[in-house]
Chain A
Amino acid sequence: MTGALSLLPFALLGAILGLDVVSFPQAMLSRPIVAATLGGALAGHAERGLLTGVVLELFALETLPFGASRYPEWGSASVVGGTLFAAYGGAGRGAFAFAVLAALLTASASGLSMVAHRRLIGRWAAHMRDELAGGSALAVNALQLRGLASDFVRGGAVTAAALAVFGPLERAALDAVPVGAPSSRAVLAALAVASAGAAVWRVIATTRGAPWLLVGGLLAGTGLVLAR
Chain B
Amino acid sequence: MSPATPRLPLRTRVAMFLRLLAVQGSWNYETMIGNGIAFAVEPALRLLPGGPRGDAYRAALARQAAYFNAHPYLAAVAVGAVARAELDGEPAARIERFRTACCGPLGSVGDRLIWAGWLPTCSLIAMGAYGLGASAPAVVLLFLGVYNAGHLALRIWGLRAGYRDGLQVARTLAAPLLRQGPAWVARLAALCAGIALPLVARGIVGPTPGRLSVVLGAALVGAAALALLHGRVEGRRLAVIGLAVFLFFEAVR
Point out residues on A near B: beta carbons under 8 Å: 22-29, 31, 33-34, 37-38, 40-41, 46-47, 49-51, 54-55, 57-68, 72, 94, 97-98, 100-101, 104-105, 107-108, 118-119, 121-122, 124-126, 132-137, 140-141, 143-148, 151, 173, 176-180, 182-205, 207-211, 213-222, 224-225, 228
Would you call A121 and B195 a contact (CB within 8 A)? no
Question: B189 contacts which chain A residues (CB < 8 A)?
Answer: 200, 203-204, 210
**Cα(A100)–Cα(B242), bound, Å:** 12
**Cα(A131)–Cα(B45), bound, Å:** 17
Q: In the complex, what residue of chain A is closest to B58 when comparing beta carbons?
A: A135
Would you call B62 and A220 a contact (CB within 8 A)? no
Would you call B190 and A200 a contact (CB within 8 A)? yes
- CB-CB contacts of B218-248 with A at 8 A, as 1s and 0s? 1111111111001100111011101110110
Would you call A68 and B29 a contact (CB within 8 A)? yes
Would you call A62 and B29 a contact (CB within 8 A)? no
- CB-CB contacts of B2-40 with A at 8 A, as 1s and 0s? 000000000000000000011011111111100110110
Would you call A101 and B235 a contact (CB within 8 A)? no
Question: A46 contacts which chain B residues (CB < 8 A)?
Answer: 136-137
Stretch at the interface among B76-84, B94-102, B113-121, B169-177: B113-121
Would you call A126 and B30 a contact (CB within 8 A)? yes
Would you call A140 and B42 a contact (CB within 8 A)? yes
Asked if B59 is at the interface of the complex by the 8 Å CB criterion, the answer is: yes
- What's the dominant secondary structure at chain B's contact region? helix
Would you call B69 and A66 a contact (CB within 8 A)? no
CB distance from A223 to the nearest CB of B (A): 9
Would you call B26 and A121 a contact (CB within 8 A)? yes
Asked if B1 is at the interface of the complex by the 8 Å CB criterion, the answer is: no
Would you call B140 and A34 a contact (CB within 8 A)? yes
Would you call A97 and B201 a contact (CB within 8 A)? no
Question: A173 contacts which chain B residues (CB < 8 A)?
Answer: 247
Q: In the complex, what residue of chain A is closest to B143 when comparing beta carbons?
A: A33
- Category for how many chain B residues contact A: 35 or more
CB distance from B85 to the nearest CB of A (A): 16
Question: B220 contacts which chain A residues (CB < 8 A)?
Answer: 194, 197
Asked if B251 is at the interface of the complex by the 8 Å CB criterion, the answer is: yes
CB distance from A184 to the nearest CB of B (A): 8
Question: B192 contacts which chain A residues (CB < 8 A)?
Answer: 217
The 3 closest A-B CB pairs, nearest first, are A217-B194, A195-B235, A194-B222
Question: A54 contacts which chain B residues (CB < 8 A)?
Answer: 127, 130, 200, 203-204
One of B65, B123, B225 near A132 (C-beta < 8 A): B65
Interface centre among A47, A59, A190 (most CB of B within 10 A): A190
Q: What is the number of contacts between chain A and chain B, taking CB atoms within 8 Å?
A: 356
**Cα(A58)–Cα(B137), bound, Å:** 19
Would you call B136 and A50 a contact (CB within 8 A)? yes
Asked if B109 is at the interface of the complex by the 8 Å CB criterion, the answer is: no
CB distance from A187 to the nearest CB of B (A): 5
Q: In the complex, what residue of chain A is closest to B41 when comparing beta carbons?
A: A140
Q: Which residues between 193 and 224 of chain B lie within 8 Å of chain A, taking CB atoms?
A: 193-208, 211-212, 214-216, 218-224
**Cα(A207)–Cα(B36), bound, Å:** 33
Would you call A23 and B24 a contact (CB within 8 A)? yes
Would you call B27 and A121 a contact (CB within 8 A)? yes
**Known A61-B120, A104-B236, A184-B250; further 6 A-B contacts with Cβ < 8 A:** A23-B24, A122-B31, A144-B25, A197-B226, A198-B222, A213-B194
Would you call B236 and A62 a contact (CB within 8 A)? yes
Would you call A191 and B238 a contact (CB within 8 A)? yes
**Cα(A151)–Cα(B132), bound, Å:** 36
One of A104, A119, A125, A204 near B240 (C-beta < 8 A): A104
**Cα(A121)–Cα(B29), bound, Å:** 9
Given A37-B139, A59-B236, A118-B28, A218–B198 Cβ distance below 8 Å?
Answer: yes
One of B35, B69, B139, B215 near A33 (C-beta < 8 A): B139
**Cα(A59)–Cα(B25), bound, Å:** 26
One of A62, A135, A180, A197 near B193 (C-beta < 8 A): A197
CB distance from A16 to the nearest CB of B (A): 14
Would you call A218 and B215 a contact (CB within 8 A)? no
**Cα(A65)–Cα(B73), bound, Å:** 13
Q: In the complex, what residue of chain B is closest to A26 when comparing beta carbons?
A: B72
Given A135-B62, A140-B35, A192-B239, A25–B144 Cβ distance below 8 Å?
Answer: no
